[in-house]
Amino acid sequence: MNLAYYRRSWTSRAMAALTMLCTGVVLTPLFLVLAFLMRTGLSALNLEFFTALPGPAGEPGGGMANAMAGTVILLALAAALGIPLGVLGGVFLAEYPNTELAHLTRFTADVLNGTPSIIMGLFAYILVVLPLRHFSALAGGVALGVILIPTVVRTTEEIVRLVPQSVREASLALGIPQWKTTLRVLIPTAAAGIVTGIMVGLARIAGETAPLLFTAFGNRFWNWDPLKPIAALPLQIFAYAISPFDDWHRQAWAGALVLVTLVLLVNITARYAARRQVKLR
Amino acid sequence: MAGEFGALPFIYGTLVSSALALVIAVPLGLGVAIFLSELAPGWLRVPVGFLVELLAAVPSVVFGLWGIFVLAPWVRTSLTPLLTGTLGFLPLFQGPPLGIGMLTAGLILAIMVVPFIVAVSTEVMRAVPTMQREAALALGATRWETTRSAVLPYARSGIMGAIFLALARALGETMAVTMVIGNVRQIKASLLAPAYTIPAVIANEFAEATADLHVAALIYAGAALLLVTVLVNIAARLLVGRVARAVAIGE
């Protein structure tokens, strides 16, 4: 055992320790964010927060009920646009994987997935707000829907690909046409996985703020009309975070706690569901 | 604001904050990726990978909130005095401790893009054929020498792709940056000074822009951002695709 060997073996160990240190450093912010959310957010959570409208500026009290309802409405609008397009696109990619159009679609979906969300806001502004001449829930839904599409496309593709070839062949052998095989056999078989992918996609857009700033715009009151400006939870968190009032800061933390709990729950559930599906195979 | 719109401070702020984020996030992300793909025991690999994924799932407005009330005060009271005390002779670290500014934006961007570097790098490193590693180990290489000489070169273009992907994210990230960068249109050598980015100016001014030229200028800035991020994304996809093909041919 010579000196060179010791040096090399210790270098190896030092580098291993260094990568572990990196892992610790990277995960620290996650725990810090969660810890501060719990500490500050929990104390501001009460029934009023979930049932009341925002209070007048600077006065303590009030809640984010309209913002939560707004987020649900925006998600529904986004889902109406993003889910059909996304699922059908994903099925196409899985069933005709090597066509020219499939390569192009896959590439476009990936690039779209990496496009800044604020650009989608500008897109929805030009597409919906300019012709209507005012901000609206519909515009926000379009912005979020466009962000949802690529996520749903890629997860659907992955899941539908997992459906065994024999299932398709069995259906076709019974004389069922291709379109009916896709709609009645493939999609139901892959449904659980597709739904999981959609849930993760919805959780992602539920926290999007930038594309809503000049589409949904925000609203201090209840609104059920898709053609009027509407409140959203992330918008409200942003507005309260940059406000000068302590009570609004507390409510921003509470809103963030609600949002993050939702997002993490969906992600953890999806993870669990995915693992069970893998085990079943 | 008399009908004149220049974008230089925004372009500068976008580029510098993203570069800063990458300088912090790339070494850290690669470290985590090497840990996850080469060193971590199986029982640790899955939960750690999942936690990194969760980091990517936290909405950016939440990072912004945390940035305003936790990170920025920490930068003001702890990090800035440390930097000005030790590296204060550099123009990069001069100026009053404000807490908000380029440095804080770079830090928060680094936290937000690191999961993308980790995810893609881990994936391309796992795609390196096991035979490569076994060959290096059989020649007497240590674990680290194997990683450095047999795994990293093979995965190099994929890792570049991961970095490009993270760059595209950093360039376009809006909310968290808007909340901590200070939103001052200026170009200062110091990283401690407030700055402004293209997404931030769109976020702050678009809803209130009434003059047609103002709206047009902001949309133009957005179009420039879109073009750059699309190009960076395409480069990233091509680089990652190259590793996938190399592996397909190699096996």
ipTM of the complex: 0.92
In angstroms, what is the C-alpha Rg of chain A?
Answer: 24
CA–CA separation, B61 and A56 (whole Å): 23
Q: What is the mean pLDDT of residues A215-235?
A: 93
Q: Which two tokens stand for residue A225?
A: 């009309």
Predicted confidence (pLDDT) at residue B251 exceeds the cutoff of 50 = no
* A16: chain B residues, CB-CB within 8 Å: 35, 39, 143-144
* A33: chain B residues, CB-CB within 8 Å: 58, 62-63, 66
Contact call for B172 and A119, based on CB within 8 A: yes
A1, A19, A130, A248, best to mutate vs chain B, most B CBs in 10 Å = A19
Predicted confidence (pLDDT) at residue B244 exceeds the cutoff of 90 = no
Nearest by CB to A118, from B144, B147, B203: name it.
Answer: B203
Q: What is the mean pLDDT of residues B160-184?
A: 95
- The reply to whether A244 touches chain B by the CB within 8 Å rule is no
Contact call for B174 and A204, based on CB within 8 A: no
Minimal C-alpha gap between A132 and chain B (Å):
15
Contact A187, A92 (CB under 8 A): no
Give kind and range of the element (H or E) at residue B199.
helix B198-205
Contact call for A260 and B62, based on CB within 8 A: yes
pLDDT at position B2 is 59
CA–CA separation, B130 and B151 (whole Å): 9
Contact call for B55 and A29, based on CB within 8 A: yes
Give A123-137 pLDDT, tens digit per residue. Answer: 999 999 999 999 999
Give B78-118 pLDDT, tens digit per residue. Answer: 999 999 888 888 888 888 889 999 999 999 999 999 999 99
> How many residues are listed for chain B in this entry?
251
Q: What is the DSSP string of chain A?
A: --HHHHHHHHHHHHHHHHHHHHHHHHHHHHHHHHHHIIIIIHHH--HHHHHSPBPSTT-S-B--HHHHHHHHHHHHHHHHHHHHHHHHHHHHHHHSTTSHHHHHHHHHHHHHHTS-HHHHHHHHIIIIIHHHTS--HHHHHHHHHHHHHHHHHHHHHHHHHHS-HHHHHHHHHTT--HHHIIIIIIHHHHHHHHHHHHHHHHHHHHT--GGGTTTTB--SS----TTS-B--HHHHHHHHHTSS-HHHHHHHHHHHHHHHHHHHHHHHHHHHHHHHHHHH-
Distances (CA, A) of A262 to A91, A206, A208, B183, B208: 28, 9, 13, 31, 31
Give A182-220 pLDDT, tens digit per residue. Answer: 989 999 989 989 999 999 999 999 999 999 999 999 998
- The reply to whether A17 touches chain B by the CB within 8 Å rule is no
Please name the residue of chain B whose CA is at the shortest distance from the CA of residue A29. Answer: B111
Give B193-231 pLDDT, tens digit per residue. Answer: 999 999 999 999 998 888 889 999 999 999 999 999 999
* B224: chain A residues, CB-CB within 8 Å: none
Q: Which two tokens stand for residue A60?
A: 């303590």
